[in-house]
Amino acid sequence: MGTPHAILMTATAMAIGAAFAADSGAGSSQDSHAAARKLIAESKCEACHARKVGGDGTGIYTRPDRKVKTKARVAGQVALCNTELNLGLFPDDEAAITAFLNDTYYKYK
């Protein structure tokens, strides 16, 4: 398993992520997606993912053994990365990134 702190952080991120997944309909999706792509680039998300899975990093979203299997888990993973890596993303940023990733790669309802 993990340390109690890691378990608590994961549970907290998942709860926050579920709340964001429920409220991701603000603004136009095109504007939101453009903002999300910029945030992903600025936060160096795909560079970190590339170190984990190789290539350009986007393979982390499409790998057969993906860890996230629901939209709420996508949001939770975004929140977890933000917390663990101290990215300083605001809740609206996390929601935009979640919506972009879900619309682009996951397609969960």
Cβ-contact 75, 21 below 8 angstroms: yes
- The pLDDT value recorded for residue 22 is 47
- The pLDDT value recorded for residue 83 is 95
Question: Could you tell me which residue, 101 or 17, shows the higher pLDDT?
Answer: 101
- The pLDDT value recorded for residue 30 is 79
Domain ranges for the chain, please list them. Answer: 29-60+68-109
26 sits in the region (left: phi over 0; alpha: psi -120 to 50; else beta) called beta
pLDDT tens, position by position, 24-81: 444 577 788 999 999 988 888 989 999 999 999 999 999 998 889 999 999 999 999 9
- The pLDDT value recorded for residue 66 is 86
Q: State how far the Cα of 53 lies from the Cα of 68, in Å rounded to an integer.
A: 15
Q: What number of other Cβ atoms are within 10 A of residue 8's Cβ?
A: 11
- C-alpha dihedral, 94 to 95 to 98 to 100, nearest 10°: -110
pTM value? 0.72
